[in-house]
Amino acid sequence: MSATTLGARIAAPAARAPFWPSGWAAGLAWIGTAALISLWPDADDLGRSWELAVLAAGFGAAIQAGAIAATLPALAPRLAPLRAAGPWLLVLALALTAWELVTAKLDWLPRPFFAAPQSILEVFTDDYARLGESVWRSVLLVVPGYALGASIGFLFGVAMGWSRLVGYWAHPVVRLIGPLPATAWLPIAFFAFTSSRGASTFLIALASFFPVTVLTWSGVSAVSKSYYDVARTMGATPWFLVRKVAVPAAMPSVFVGLFVGLGASFSVLVVAEMMGVKAGLGWYMQWAQGWAAYANMYAALLVLALMCSSAVTLLFRLRDHLLSWQKGLVRW
């Protein structure tokens, strides 16, 4: 190869990334949705229509800018996740358009049972203080309960998997009480504890205890005996075998139990707040239903879904960090 040819190849500009049709379509769809919201009069007097149109137009403009940037060689690798989400962005715009049509514009669905998008946005702008306080109270309730139940379940599962004596006596108890839904203990919990907060914490801890216990026990029991034999030949003590062999080998199963326990904890959280706690998202949804404020109830459901998804995402990030050799094996 001549020096001239080599220099020409080096000096040649990098090729542009492929055109992103779904991104352009999604951006135009969001801008079209904004036009529909702002130009088509509402069937009833609804607030926040203009604000919703501005948000939709801004989101569409941002997607259009991303579609342009995604074709640039320097930005294309960083915007690869956005490119993959193109069809979803388009479907969300179409779904918002359909929702807007059947509620705010054509009034086909009876209100207040089916709230318009403007009504949901109005909840976030007008009732953000009460909704934010409910979110904070739910966090203060679910985090200690889940941490307590998961910690005790982990220790109990390790003990059952390591010690045959503990496993012999604990196995029947876990098989009898564990599958029982935590919500079945509601009457006993609210009678035994002096405060509704203590009873709710106990129920959340109980919900996370069983899956963490069972899967930790299974993980420790499934550790190959050859691992222990190799460690013993190097003078390992029983405590060393538990900390450095049994527990690390069982961590994939432990995290599965943590995922299952987290979902169960959020389920019990909502029920407990509806039954006895005077604050939190569960209480907020019950209060909204009692006053026929269904837009508030849907807004709380959306916030709760984001909370659950964020918690599971954080747990997956922790799993990928601690179990780097299994990164990508379980996806979320």
Q: Report the 10 Å Cβ neighbour count for 205.
A: 23
- Give the rounded percent of residues in the chain with a pLDDT score beyond 70: 92
Contact predicate 251/323, CB 8 Å = yes
For the chain, domain boundaries: 15-109, 128-325
pLDDT tier at 236, thresholds 50, 70, 90: confident
Tens of pLDDT, residues 125-168 = 999 999 999 999 999 999 999 999 999 999 999 999 999 999 89
Residue 187 has pLDDT above 90, yes or no: no
According to the model, what pLDDT value does residue 6 have?
A: 47
Contact predicate 262/315, CB 8 Å = yes
Q: Report the C-alpha gap between 259 and 320 in whole angstroms.
A: 13
Q: Is 15 helix (H, G, I), strand (E, B) or coil?
A: coil
Q: Report the C-alpha gap between 35 and 76 in whole angstroms.
A: 30
pLDDT tier at 16, thresholds 50, 70, 90: low
Paired tokens of 166: 């503990």
292 sits in the region (left: phi over 0; alpha: psi -120 to 50; else beta) called left
- Whole-model pTM: value is 0.85
Q: Report the 10 Å Cβ neighbour count for 94.
A: 15
Q: Report the C-alpha gap between 104 and 4 in whole angstroms.
A: 66
Options 1.10.3720.10, 3.30.750.24, 3.30.390.50, 2.60.40.1930; CATH for 128-325 is 1.10.3720.10
Tens of pLDDT, residues 174-186 = 888 888 888 888 8
Rg (CA), the chain: 27
Compare 74 and 294 and report the one with higher pLDDT.
Answer: 294
According to the model, what pLDDT value does residue 8 have?
A: 45
Residue 14 has pLDDT above 80, yes or no: no
Paired tokens of 328: 């990508």
DSSP letter for 325, please.
Answer: G
According to the model, what pLDDT value does residue 77 have?
A: 82
Residue 53 has pLDDT above 50, yes or no: yes
Contact predicate 182/207, CB 8 Å = yes
Compare 236 and 257 and report the one with higher pLDDT.
Answer: 257
